[in-house]
Structure 1
């Protein structure tokens, strides 16, 4: 288990470093330009490569040594992070920041499919579910610790210094990847042509109805549910009149629920009845969102937001565990790269739900989110009942 412990520790510190970088970058761009448009451009530069490069990264993960691929990706990411800090130091034009962020996003987008594909090579098969849950718990913990540290550091250090400290977390992960050695031999794809790799992945999905169901179910909460982080300021302001303090408190409560959900899954010895837990967690997620927007006081809203974090993270973790167990190792990179593209639907959902809030009001937007999760999940379950038996 030493290789997984090295991986887990390095991944946690790298995630904290990425939060330092993201908070410092967003804050500095807004402070320097005073323009929400420029802030949107920077974040678009981070998100656009998700749909373009996720599958190619999965193909690489199946063809080549995953550990060596991650070392190469981390090397490029560290160098580009240092460059972004240097650009702040010399007060470069905004377009140079955008180019550097976009270049770095290319490598950051390729990282998750390869990283998720490598976890089964680091642990015995019976420990896979717990390993995925532990890794998710570490990432959720970084969501709480990273921004908090970034806020303190930005009050005392320059932007480039905070970004460079974030690169330090990536460097520690690079060292961990260099030292660790997988315990399970990777089974590599033997296809000679790119089209053969794509055809093999497509044929597998076409013939595996359970995998189809998991991919379909993954889209539902991403479109209807997970945009809640983008919509939360609207709900807090228009429905609850809580102000920025209430917004921060509710976001923190959600993060605590997410951490506890992934920790609970990491302590389960068995992942039996995974399909039932997957469906129930999505339904619980939708119901919690619905009750949240209907809450009449802060404490009820906080309790519902805790459940939103708990059930939402339980779903996402179980979705990853269940998918990993359905896929052979030589296809793992390609299938996981497709599955991980689900995060690209969150901005799409935010646009749709934001439009509803702008025309019909925040309450109806929130009702659409919760009810959409519930109804569409039940529709998927009704048409693909085998997912309940996984």
Structure 2
């Protein structure tokens, strides 16, 4: 099924990135309001916090292939409606974009844990680490070319054309995933224990994982909201240059691609936990580099942000995928994926800070807070590890 799963994922993620970049740029160009950008991404990502547990139960109870097909098809229908409204009306009110973002957020909140829980059983020829790494590689390829395509379409044509291309990507993804099916014997009998109790028991037995999860929740709010505010930063330092924003996002994606390629070799030398905390610390440091108003410094900093943030994200996913039972995989992974739901909260907070104190100061706060959180939890983890060695 990998031969259908990964191409479909590529088209879905490509459409996601084209749409996300186009929507952020279009809304900011219409209203020139950082708070609106925060609201757009809040509505897009807040369903993750609300619906993840329910989505995890769906992944454990029902056919994953059918659920994936339904969510992609609904994404196509929803984006097509936005295209029609955008073409027929001169200027859409912000409420339309918020409703669209909420709809896409709901579908993403349902689809992501289902897709993640399918990875370990995707093919007998792929290990869990390989499946997660390939999946991350595809995401970062799309992060690389998606913003570039969106920037080209917006600069050469307009945002309406870019939204149409997004809808076409979803249509193709829906068609490619039609042959996907998972064998009946892969549908493991699921635990009927309540999701919250399963997760609570899991973290009680895995304190290292609990600390990683808490760290991830916090730095998702402080650091990973950078992409939401990047249009504001580039407009501040490089006015009316949409290409710089697109190039910056491409640099981030290239960093992510390289990180995915070299990560398996790094994990042969260092533990997953070491790489997770080390990359999180370097992610915070890289955020501080964006404060310098220089094109090359910006691109280098964004490249490093993509590199280290992807190491942090991928090692997080691999760590939990390798340490969760099959019957509870959907429940646990759906909660782990809830860390993405902190991005809209962070985006809202950082948008208000940017509106009142300035975008440069906001990126400084983001970098320092991410660095501090990663350092603190890394020290706690190392101290606990040392105590365990002493007592043993």
Question: Which TM-score tier does this pair reach, normalised by the shorter chain?
Answer: 0.7 to 0.9
Distance 2:21 2:358 in 1: 30
The aligned residue for residue 68 of structure 2 is 70
The aligned residue for residue 282 of structure 1 is 280
The aligned residue for residue 260 of structure 1 is 258
Q: Does residue 189 of the first structure (1) align with residue 190 of the second (2)?
A: yes
* SS of the residue 1:189 aligns to: coil
* SS of the residue 2:186 aligns to: coil
The aligned residue for residue 368 of structure 1 is 365
Equivalent residues in 2 for 1:1-390 (5 A)? 3-25=1-23, 34=31, 36=33, 42-91=40-89, 94=93, 98-99=98-99, 101-124=101-124, 127-154=127-154, 162-182=162-182, 185-191=186-192, 196-232=194-230, 241-243=237-239, 244=241, 248-265=246-263, 270=268, 273-293=271-291, 298-353=295-350, 365-385=362-382
Alpha-carbon distance, 1:25 to partner? 4.6
- 1:186–1:329 contact (8 Å) kept in structure 2: no
- 2:38–2:344 contact (8 Å) kept in structure 1: no
Distance 2:209 2:175 in 1: 35
Of the structure 1 ranges 121-130 and 137-146, higher mean CA displacement relative to structure 2 is found in 121-130
Distance 1:307 1:98, change over 3 A: closer
Distance 1:249 1:221, change over 3 A: same
Distance 1:73 1:96 in 2: 20
Distance 1:302 1:263, change over 3 A: same
Distance 1:142 1:41, change over 3 A: same
Distance 1:57 1:367, change over 3 A: same
Distance 1:227 1:28 in 2: 18
Count of aligned pairs: 380
Distance 1:40 1:314 in 2: 25
Distance 1:47 1:300, change over 3 A: closer
Distance 1:77 1:202, change over 3 A: same
- 1:131–1:266 contact (8 Å) kept in structure 2: no
- 2:45–2:343 contact (8 Å) kept in structure 1: no
Distance 2:190 2:221 in 1: 33
Of the structure 1 ranges 22-31 and 321-330, higher mean CA displacement relative to structure 2 is found in 22-31
Distance 1:40 1:178 in 2: 35
Structure 1 unaligned runs (5+)? Answer: none
- 1:134–1:263 contact (8 Å) kept in structure 2: no
Distance 1:339 1:382 in 2: 22
Alpha-carbon distance, 1:171 to partner? 2.9
Distance 1:358 1:71 in 2: 40
Alpha-carbon distance, 1:56 to partner? 0.8
Distance 1:361 1:88, change over 3 A: closer
Distance 2:303 2:281 in 1: 15
Distance 2:10 2:230 in 1: 26
* SS of the residue 1:326 aligns to: coil
- After superposition, the C-alpha distances for 1:350-380 in whole angstroms (9 at most, x for unaligned) are 4444555566666654443333233322321
Q: Under a length normalisation based on structure 2, what TM-score does the superposition of the two structures give?
A: 0.81
Alpha-carbon distance, 1:68 to partner? 1.6
Of the structure 1 ranges 342-351 and 321-330, higher mean CA displacement relative to structure 2 is found in 342-351
Distance 1:206 1:317 in 2: 23
Of the structure 1 ranges 201-210 and 156-165, higher mean CA displacement relative to structure 2 is found in 156-165
Of the structure 1 ranges 95-104 and 370-379, higher mean CA displacement relative to structure 2 is found in 95-104
Distance 2:293 2:89 in 1: 47
- 2:22–2:154 contact (8 Å) kept in structure 1: yes
Alpha-carbon distance, 1:59 to partner? 1.1
Distance 1:359 1:44, change over 3 A: closer
Distance 1:369 1:29 in 2: 23
- After superposition, the C-alpha distances for 1:123-155 in whole angstroms (9 at most, x for unaligned) are 348622122122112112212322332344456
Distance 2:379 2:351 in 1: 29
Distance 1:100 1:267, change over 3 A: same
Distance 1:296 1:51 in 2: 35
